[in-house]
């Protein structure tokens, strides 16, 4: 992807995140209506089996799981003599996690009530969605150059997107986040990936 495209895409996603953040900070009525209505719809679909499945998925997409998987990926790359890339990914993920924590504490949005799975801390943006999105996109960017055909690349990309959507949905279903939280986490992750790759491209090749 060309540098200008990466920059434009990153700034566009960052702008969407910024609009969502402003909507939360200033309590835009349209955004609050969207969040409340979406949570009501999720509540209407609650079943014991679905709750158990989505609780497991939520655990798999948790920041702790993302950290473990990132460490394993970095170890693998290190052992494959791709040590600079290993350190870059470790630093990238660490800075991203720190940024989410800072934003959460700055905006300090309370979580929804009636949680189906206990969650502490603030709600905006979704750390699960951010971490899952960045990790999956990194894996996709690492894998795509190694896949020789379009169907294979399409399959990997589609599976990654489905994984992100399921984790994001689980957070809303479990009433751990408002829909705007997971949307913000997603677009912040996209912005972070695009802009990070843009800056990296200035010094090295892209992922």
Q: What tokens appear for 8 in the block?
A: 């434009």
Predicted confidence at residue 205, as pLDDT, reads 52
Is residue 163 a contact partner of residue 65, using CB atoms and an 8 Å limit?
no
Angle, helices 179-203 vs 150-173, to 10°: value is 140
How far is 137 from 139, CA to CA, in rounded Å?
5
How far is 172 from 182, CA to CA, in rounded Å?
8
> Quick one: which of 180, 182, 149 has its CA closest to 164?
182
Predicted confidence at residue 1, as pLDDT, reads 74
What's the number of domains the chain is made of?
1
Predicted confidence at residue 15, as pLDDT, reads 98
Q: What is the DSSP letter of 110?
A: P
Predicted confidence at residue 201, as pLDDT, reads 82
Is residue 184 a contact partner of residue 21, using CB atoms and an 8 Å limit?
yes
Range of the domain at 109: 3-203
Determine the 3-state secondary structure of 94 from DSSP.
helix
Predicted confidence at residue 207, as pLDDT, reads 45
Q: Which residues of the chain have a pLDDT value below 50?
A: 206-207
| Helices and strands (H, E) in the chain, number of each type | 8, 0
């Amino acid at each position: 992807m060309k540098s200008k495209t990466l920059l434009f895409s990153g700034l566009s996603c960052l702008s969407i995140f910024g609009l969502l953040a402003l909507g939360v900070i200033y309590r835009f009525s349209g955004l609050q209506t969207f969040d409340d209505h979406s949570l009501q719809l999720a509540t209407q679909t609650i079943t014991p089996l679905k709750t158990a499945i989505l609780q497991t998925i939520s655990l798999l997409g948790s920041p702790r799981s993302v950290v473990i998987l990132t460490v394993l990926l970095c170890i693998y790359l290190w052992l494959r003599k791709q040590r600079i890339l290993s350190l870059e990914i470790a630093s990238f993920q660490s800075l991203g996690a720190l940024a989410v924590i800072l934003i959460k504490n700055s905006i300090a949005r309370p979580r929804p009530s009636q949680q189906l799975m206990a969650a502490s801390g603030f709600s905006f943006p979704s750390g699960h969605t951010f971490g899952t999105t960045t990790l999956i996109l990194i894996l996709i960017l690492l894998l795509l150059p190694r896949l020789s055909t379009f169907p294979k690349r399409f399959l990997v990309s589609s599976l990654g997107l489905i994984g992100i959507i399921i984790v994001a949905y689980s957070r809303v279903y479990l009433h751990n986040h408002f829909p705007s939280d997971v949307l913000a986490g997603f677009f912040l992750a996209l912005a972070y990936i695009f802009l990070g790759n843009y800056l990296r491209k200035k010094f090295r090749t892209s992922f």
